[in-house]
Chain A
Amino acid sequence: MLYLSSLLGARILDNANVQVGTLKDVAVPITEAYPKVAALVISQKNRTETIVPADLIELVGKGIVTLKKSCATLPFFHLGPEHILLRKSVLDRQIVDCEGLKVVRANDIALGKVQGDLSVISIDVSILGILRRLNLDGLPFLNRIKEDLVPWNEMSLVDSTMPELKLHEQKNQLQKLHPADIANIVEELNAKRGAAFLSQLEPEIAADVIEEMDEDDQVALIEHLDAEQAGDILEDMSPDQAADILDELSDDKAQEIIAELEPEEGEKILELITYDAKEAGGLMTTEFFSVRPDWNVREVKNALKGSKDDIPTITYIYVTEEDGTLKGVLSLRRLSTSEDQKKMKEIMSKKPFFVSPTASIKQIAGFLTKYDLFSVAVAREDRKMLGIVMVDDIMRELFPEA
């Protein structure tokens, strides 16, 4: 195997064995799984730099790289936005090992032939990599240390050197990980760098990742994101979580982010913020399933089939007017045992239970117990329905340790 550390500083000779300079860096496109070496950055005698395409390489030997052309006719290679410099941006930097789910440091980079082309294969994150670079790898007792290689396509840079190139455009395993795993990785970084890392992900994924974290970490991360990105991410989270985070943020930051929210999402979240976290308005989720009074059973069933995933478990169907006024409620059981043509207003219970947004945990718990409910609607005095509180929201408050 060939290591970047042994290549750097190698003498570059042209086809007449005239020295062009020494190898300073190696450019590869980040978009490939095992990227082919695209170009060599050569520092020349007069302290200038030149970049030559890698297909000019004739031979790679120990401390020497020979080229196919004469130094007078070497073409210049222009680096594109997809090119990454291995020494400048990868070597000695922190990387995420997406297989081992760890943040590690790139001690060396292993190259090899893939389908005949010199390509990057993996990143050496072991002590051996360090010793090799210090020329200490010959010591006898070291053969017991295991080499630890992270395949190139299983790694992700912690500090994005190319903000214009989002992670999802790279060949990157990170996108395939479970959000909880990404959350663990982000928690290993501090908030500032964790935020920078998150901002490389698509907002929906970043939102899923943040939802996996505890509130302190969530707040710290959002505090470090710029307002626009934070807004995009919060919109993709459930409104009640987003509201909780906004409520904990510093005043200035929260204002900045709210200014960035889409009006519709922003209004939902803002409504939630006005309530205390320990009352119905703060506990409730605003994502619930509601239908109109004149829909029939079949229409409701179809709507149920097409309902979005982010609506939590549906146990009751709330019947509201277009403006959100709560008219009635019925259980799934009632729905499934009714004939297809029946309208909601015929089968629903016309006196739905609801609590006010300022009801306390104790009041809601008592209410749920008294009427044997799994969830209860939250509505204002004018019966405008705001959301639902589920029994598990209450349990979480009562038994936070569980």
Chain B
Amino acid sequence: MKLPFKFSFRRLLLVLAVLGPGIISANADNDAAGITTYTVTGARYGYKLLFSLLIITIVLAITQELGARIGVISGKGLGGVIREKFGLKLTMLAMGAMLIANFGVIVADMAGVAEAMSLFGVTKYLSVPIFTVLLWLVLYKGSFAKAEKFFLVLSAMYIVYIVTAFYTKPDWGLALSSLVTPHIQFDKAYLVTLMALIGTTVTPWGQFFIQSYIVDKSTPAGHYGFQRLEIFFGAFLTDFISFFIIVTATNTLFKNGIFVNNASEAALSLAPLAGAQATSLFAFGLLVAGLLGVSIVTLATAYALCETFGFESAMDRSWKDAPVFYSLITFFLVIASLIVIIPGIPLFPIMISSQVINGLILPIILVYVYKIINDRKIMGAYTNGKTANFFALSAVGLLTIASLVVALTSIFT
């Protein structure tokens, strides 16, 4: 029987329907701490570390795809699957680790908001409370669909980094060729920076977020092909933006031998080199990165905790219907902003230490993910094959080495 349907745009709609998880998660990966890392990388080493972006893109694509696939097939968030497969005690370990890592990221991104606003001349004692209330309203009052649009709009703002890069009139040919020219330098600082680049992009919260998001979106297994493409595109986008940030830093700070420790120093030194607009654009980008980071990681954490321990969690509910969910969101936002507005607290070390903690915890979470993806009872026909496992194990191995190096060096220096 042939249907008399009007199906002209169906394919296109199908592609549009899967938009979101990969792209939003990818941009939230470039949070305030991430932008700081890229800037410092460019300022210290110029184009030398650009080649690592290719590797990072692949590793990110692999790990995010694992999470997305578990979400599509099980229909459950990572916390839920862990609880059902590993029992309560191992779940407490995973969730405890996640909670520590994620809270660090929330604080770091709130610090990023404070830093960005101070570049615009607004003190953190004013900016942090205002943005905390604003974010709380988006997360509490907003429906899932509205929040998703808010995040997508924020994601689109990342274009400012591309614009800033053009202001600095870089040598594009050299930048592109550096992308495919590996450069290994056996000194500690160089290796640590390399590892930090990886550690800031692939994160524990990213694993929880992408899976919860996919589960909420309920992509049917039959459309998984499209969803996978979107995830891969997201991974590409993350490092596409990183590329422009590193290029900007190289053509301004590195070329002029200016040594910076953080993103706001970098933004300020941009003014004499590339014009005042460059500073404003850079600061705006940092603000957006901070806002996106705080809201996404707060949501991902509250979702994961509620799902794992059996509390209602959905953005479209009232406080009465989902008290634990909204209490957690409020708690994270308030405590994070209180920490950031402690007078005299150094913001830069907060960001860097949160990154190190994330790097240390990531391998733990990935071991759970790896176990789950190879469990035929959960994944059925979508279990990893030999080749997929080779790639997954390589990615996990690389990340483990990376996080150990970052951790050890930060302890000993």
Contact = CB atoms under 8 A, between A and B. Distances in A.
A60 interface: no
Nearest to B14: A250
A94 B81 CA distance: 11
Contacts of A196: 75
Contacts of B218: 190-192, 220, 224
B75 A192 contact: yes
A134 B88 contact: yes
A94 B3 CA distance: 40
A106 B312 CA distance: 14
Contacts of A255: 1, 3
Interface in A166-223: 188-193, 196, 220, 223
Interface stretch (B4-12, B233-241, B294-302, B355-363): B4-12
A273 B218 CA distance: 25
A189 B222 CA distance: 19
Contact of B88 (A102, A104, A133, A192): A133
Interface in A92-124: 92-94, 102-107
A190 B215 contact: yes
B310 A94 contact: yes
B76 interface: yes
Nearest to B1: A258
A310 interface: no
A252 B220 CA distance: 13
Q: Which of B1, B72, B87, B308 has the most CB of A within 10 A?
A: B1
A106 B76 CA distance: 16
A266 B3 CA distance: 12
A224 B310 CA distance: 24
A130 B309 contact: yes
A368 interface: no
Given A190-B216, A250-B10, A92 B75 contact: no
A127 interface: yes
Contacts of B91: 92
A191 B76 CA distance: 11
Contacts of A274: 4
A393 interface: no
Given A190-B218, A220-B218, A125 B3 contact: no
B3 A273 contact: yes
B317 to A, nearest CB: 9
A254 interface: yes
A137 interface: no
Interface residues of B, number: 29
A273 B1 CA distance: 14
A247 interface: yes
Contacts of A133: 88-89
Interface in B1-27: 1, 3-5, 7, 10, 14
B14 A254 contact: no
B83 interface: yes
A104 B83 CA distance: 13
Contact of A259 (B1, B76, B310): B1
Contacts of B222: 252-253
A103 B89 CA distance: 22
A94 B14 contact: no
Interface in B119-168: none
Interface in A78-99: 92-94
A85 B222 CA distance: 32
A220 B17 CA distance: 12
Contacts of B76: 193
B212 to A, nearest CB: 10
Contacts of A224: 218, 220
Nearest to A261: B1
B220 A105 contact: no
A309 interface: no
Interface in A339-363: none
B92 interface: yes
B261 to A, nearest CB: 42
A127 B309 contact: yes
B5 A107 contact: no
Contact of A254 (B5, B83, B220): B5
A188 B72 CA distance: 17
B187 interface: no
Interface in B207-222: 215-216, 218, 220, 222
Contacts of B89: 133-134
Contacts of B83: 92, 105
Nearest to B7: A251
B5 A273 contact: yes
Nearest to B4: A274
A255 B1 CA distance: 8
B84 A92 contact: yes
Nearest to A189: B75
Which 8 residue pairs of A and B lie closest in terms of their CB atoms, listed nearest first?
A105-B310, A191-B218, A192-B75, A193-B75, A104-B310, A190-B218, A274-B4, A133-B88
18 contacts: A92-B88, A102-B312, A105-B83, A105-B310, A130-B88, A133-B88, A134-B92, A192-B215, A192-B218, A220-B218, A223-B220, A224-B220, A250-B10, A250-B14, A251-B7, A252-B222, A255-B3, A273-B5
Interface of A: 92-94, 102-107, 125, 127, 130, 133-134, 188-193, 196, 220, 223-224, 247, 250-255, 258-259, 266, 270, 273-274
Given A92-B84, A107-B309, A255-B3, 19 more contacts: A92-B83, A92-B87, A93-B84, A94-B80, A104-B311, A105-B309, A107-B310, A125-B310, A130-B309, A133-B88, A134-B88, A190-B218, A192-B215, A196-B75, A223-B220, A251-B7, A258-B3, A270-B3, A270-B4
